[in-house]
A and B are shown apart, each in its own frame.
Chain A
Amino acid sequence: MSTLAVVLVVLVVTVGSLAFRLVPLLGLVVVPEQAARVARGAGVAAMTAMVVRGVLEHRDPGLPGAGVVAAASVAVGLAVATRGRSLGVVLLWGLAAYGVLASAVHWLT
């Protein structure tokens, strides 16, 4: 892969990313309030999808059932988050849950 090809890809993605960000915010396309409300739903949906994919794509070669452990850990984090706790606390709970569950699986197997 030549340097020029890599420059071209980065340039195309840069221009595309800027367009995605700029077009609605500069008013080049008028976004009605109802459409903005639906877009907020789409944004929540996009983030939810990234949570699910993050769990499904989780790999831990040394841990049997790593996907289940990851899902349980994220579920713990979500449970803490729905109680209105801070991002830092959610992360601590989620990662601690992973550590505890991974240790338990190692101990049992």
Chain B
Amino acid sequence: MILIKKGRLIDPGTCRDEVVDVLIRGGTIARIGKDIALTGADRVIDAEGLIVAPGLIDVHTHLREPGYEWKETIRTGTMAAAQGGFTSVVCMANTDPVNDNKSVTEYIMKKAHSEGVVRVFPAGAITKGLKGAELSEMGEMHQAGAVAISDDGRSVKNSRLFLKALEYARLFRLAVICHCEDEDLSGGVVHEGSASLFSGLDAVPSIAEEIMVRRDIAIARYVDSPVHITHISTRGTVEIMREEKSRYQKATCDTCPHYFTLSDEATLGYDTNTKVNPPLRSPEDVAAIKEGLRDGTIDIIATDHAPHDHVSKDVEFDMASSGISGLETALGLSLALVHGGVLDLTGLLAKMTVNPARLLDVPYGVLAPGKAADLIIFSDTAEWTVNKNAFASKGRNTPFHGVTLKGRNLVTIVGGKIVYNGL
């Protein structure tokens, strides 16, 4: 039994924001109330001055296993998730072999069960081998534990196939998570804007993302299927989402902390840690993303945690792998939105707990008696400096090394078990 005393419980799912105690018994929440007695508790955590919230749910992570274990394993990736305050992660299918059939899904589930420290929900590939030609065996993957499908890394270029995928996925209530990128327009390494004018790097225009967002939602609307656009980065996309959501409620989207924290100016020194896909955008886009978070257009904050080994990043910008190792900085960066007045704590946490849970249709992200004891205790004021060498993730590729953040996860509990304790 674990007793968490006097923490400020913020649970967007039950509209709760008050200082209370939480009693955990076994793997579930036993009681939430004031002044719960200490008797019988094996462990008491003093959460005074701290915030107790449902464990964060990341709808977009790369765990790299099977196939790229030198970049990350399910073990190290979930440990990074735990440090960052995530109790559930969706892992993307661009492994090797690609997760496009139940064997790979089962492998991931088994590994996660034996070596992972947080809940892992695989996203199966939409198309076999991520090749964009044939549908993958979504039904069997769903039986094996997949909660979503995504060809992340690419779009499904063939519109007919994408339409079929949306219809078919509906059968299993799999979330369809879409990476939107028109590959004929992209093929650059930075955003096409003022910064690329100075750096001379090949650049990607915003419309490469926006065209696909329009297309994906138009098709989803046509077949009346849910669709989720991941890692949105441009002002144009925010405007499209705003417009589409007013007439079609089944379209949702997420963005990542780097898109509301850094602009393309960060790429001017050719630091490969700023190379990410979609690329960091202009300051106007950053402002629009923040506005989209504020007015609810953007439903979810995900990490797109993309760990890479040192060698993949320690090369010329053009040749470097894209991606930021983000699980351990996500909460700190997101809390800046609260400090900056863009969101309040409840609003922010909703985007990282109950909203992701709804998208994935999993029974987490909410704290109430009887529910799984997946929760975190964090400080929204503690200042700390990001040290990539202290990451649990193998991926040290972050542009935030040395940056001081305000707000930090301290304790992570999954199914009643403490998997991270930074107190």
Report whether chain A binds chain B. no
**B interface residues, Cβ below 8 angstroms from A:** none
Residue numbers of A with Cβ under 8 A of B are none
